[in-house]
Structure 1
Amino acid sequence: MKKDQNQLTWLMVSLIAFNMVWGLGNVVNNYSQQGISVIVSWILILAIYFIPYALIVGQLGSTFKESGGGVSDWVEKTSTKRLAYFAAWTYWVVHIPYLAQKPQGVLIPLGYSGEW
């Protein structure tokens, strides 16, 4: 086994990041609903959202590499503790409806599979 086979390549890291931020489900669903014209919106999303997001997270992560708290640590170091609390609280509250709808992503396709 080569030594390079145990290392993540740039392509692997970028695909992992893409899947964590956007998800493959969004790609498949949008393509099935809009067809080939969805590629234009993918290019816009790449230019307007993904590239700035990657640059911002990369810059903040490298600037505050000694802290391990993520968004709340970044906000606390660049602003106030109160604003950092609100950032952490908002991040937590947003995940409540997100986590509540995640089982639907499994149950709905299982329901369709029973109609065969």
Structure 2
Amino acid sequence: MDSFDTTHKRKLISWPVLALMDFVTVIGFDDIIYNFKNQGLATISEWVIMLALYVVPYEMMVGQLGSTFSDTTGGLTSWIRHTSGDKMGYFMAWAGWVCALPYLVDVANSTVVSFGWLFAGNNSYEDKMNNWTFALLTAVVFIIFIFFQHRFANSLQILSVIGGGAMFIITV
């Protein structure tokens, strides 16, 4: 007998969808292309080993913690706070912020570079800019992303669909 009562419906993610989510978020399509280009067919065995030793255990841990603390909305920070205390939860939030900051700046940098390719058709646009201009454009893109996130309630889902769909189409 199922332990859920009739007011709560069980939400399940199918294995193919879960595998694609893992693949795109943890590994990514671009990592496979780079490694395959640099290492050849040997990279396939490395991805199988990484899948068995990292991706599957990672997904099982996240699934267990997510189902155990389903009422919390802070993700990993809330899970660490509930299992290890407030100080470790605070440290996890700080570490997550510190680790995410270079990624966010890299996304803004990549957007500036992508617009350069869009306008010039090659990488000459970014070569003509000095560092100050590039940094200023990166800051403008960063502020636009913050404004977009603040202004639209479901902007993260919209940007995820656009970015994930573009990544999939370009990879294919």
For normalisation by structure 1, the TM-score amounts to 0.80
Which 5+ residue runs of structure 1 have no aligned equivalent? 1-7
The answer to whether the 8 Å contact 2:69/2:79 transfers is yes
Q: Whose relative contact order is higher, 1 or 2, with alpha carbons under 8 Å and at least 6 apart?
A: 2
RMSD, matched Cα: 2.4
The aligned counterpart of 1:70 is 75
What secondary structure is seen at the aligned counterpart in 1 of 2:41?
helix
- Specify whether residues 37 and 105 from structure 1 end up closer, same or farther in structure 2 by C-alpha distance, changes over 3 A only: farther
Following the alignment from structure 1 to structure 2, what is the Cα–Cα distance between the partners of residues 57 and 94? Answer: 19
The aligned counterpart of 2:27 is 22
* Identical residues among aligned pairs (%): 35
Does residue 101 in structure 1 map to residue 109 in structure 2?
A: no
51, 56, 61: which one aligns with 1:51: 56
Question: Deviation of residue 14 (structure 1)?
Answer: 1.9
76, 80, 84: which one aligns with 1:79: 84
- Specify whether residues 35 and 103 from structure 1 end up closer, same or farther in structure 2 by C-alpha distance, changes over 3 A only: farther
Q: Which has the larger radius of gyration?
A: 2
Which 5+ residue runs of structure 2 have no aligned equivalent? 1-12, 124-172
For normalisation by structure 2, the TM-score amounts to 0.56
Structure 1 residue ranges (4+ consecutive) displaced by more than 4 angstroms after TM superposition: 103-106
The aligned counterpart of 2:142 is none
